[in-house]
Structure 1
Amino acid sequence: MDLHPGETIIFEGRPSWRSILGFYVVGLVAAAVVALIVKLADATGTAVVAFIVIFAVVVAVGFLKRIGTSYTITSERLHIRRGLLSRSVQQTKLERVQNVNTEQSFFERVLQIGTVDFDTAGTDDSDFTFAGVANPDEVVTAVDRAQRAAEVGPAA
């Protein structure tokens, strides 16, 4: 992300590894089921190989999805970048942010992750969300700090 003159980064992060824990659990169960089916139809060695290959693919996909997403809050903007090979970038000026909402399910609270949703002025269809971030309260605090600093203006 190219910063404007005088712009500073206040928060930079990615979805937490804990946010894709459910994906890993489902992948582990799926790999075990496939390995069990292969064992019943063939030998144990083939079943072990099938389990390892499937679970390795699940871990790789989860990892790539996580590192392919980045969230940045600067003194002027909110920025979301998704994708490694293809790329999607979402950006809005900090002054357009009207409300900042957090959401955490029971399990997300236990894992200390959550979703921070930004309501921006003049847009109803834009989903501007930092999903799966660790300590979502820190993100809210960073936005609040940046908005307050913008209201005060640059230091004289």
Structure 2
Amino acid sequence: MSDEEVKARIIEKLLRKHSTGPSATPIDEVPSWFPSHQKGDSQESVKELLRDPESPVVEAPGIAVTNIELGSVDRAVEYLQSRERQVPWFLQEGYGEDPHTLPDSSEDRLHDRISDLEDELEMMNETAEDWRSEARRRQRLGVLFGAIGFMSGFATSGLLGYIF
């Protein structure tokens, strides 16, 4: 992964985490987003992003650790688009400065998806009930055939014992 791809991935992750304003991200957390062979590259990329005036990443005040955040969601989206990277879904249509609010169309899609999942869950519950009733029916049949087998064996052995 190139240095530019690492930087873009850092910005994508900060967007997905809504790392703006009061929800800054500790700089020590960034390497955990990458495989072990890229942890050093990610730390260097964060430092480069902080030095670059065109970068949307800024240093946020922290008490014990250094934090980073996005200075502007708009600049972060432009940064990703200029590098032909995918923008997170909640910012693709009608994004605003506040990443904590979803655009109306996204909320509608989310409600539609929830409704679809609820319908699917209802169908799965009906199927599970059908399976349970079939299992109970087979269990009763097994008990019935077992009892019939026992009775016929008992009757046969009694009859044979009487004859011989």
TM-score, shorter chain, exceeding 0.5:
no
TM-score by length of 1: 0.21
TM-score, normalised via structure 2 length: 0.20
Relative to its length, the structure with more helix (as a share) is: 2
